[in-house]
Amino acid sequence: MTNITLSIDDKVYKKMRKYSEIKWSEFVRKCVQKRVEELESIKSELYADEKLLAENWSSEEDNIAWKDL
């Protein structure tokens, strides 16, 4: 597992200390993992849309219409 360093505003850190029962590193790890999964899902959807658009625009009629441009 890789370690990263995270900067937290002093005011936020003081508030975090009030909740010592929370494992903050685990909380942040899960938040990052969830966000990465969301981004991968969005990227996958965008790729599918780009592929669909490419298929729609690659007809023979389009090639004839755009050949001189």
**Residues 31, 53 contacting (CB under 8 angstroms):** no
pTM of the model: 0.58
H helices present in the chain, as ranges: 10-17, 24-56, 60-66
Helix (H) / strand (E) element for 69: namely: none
Interval 4-61: pLDDT, tens? 999 999 999 999 999 999 999 999 999 999 999 888 887 766 666 666 666 655 567 6
Q: What dihedral angle (degrees, nearest 10) is formed by the CA atoms of 45, 48, 49, 53?
A: 170
Going from N- to C-terminal start, the domains of the chain cover 24-54
Residue type, 48: A
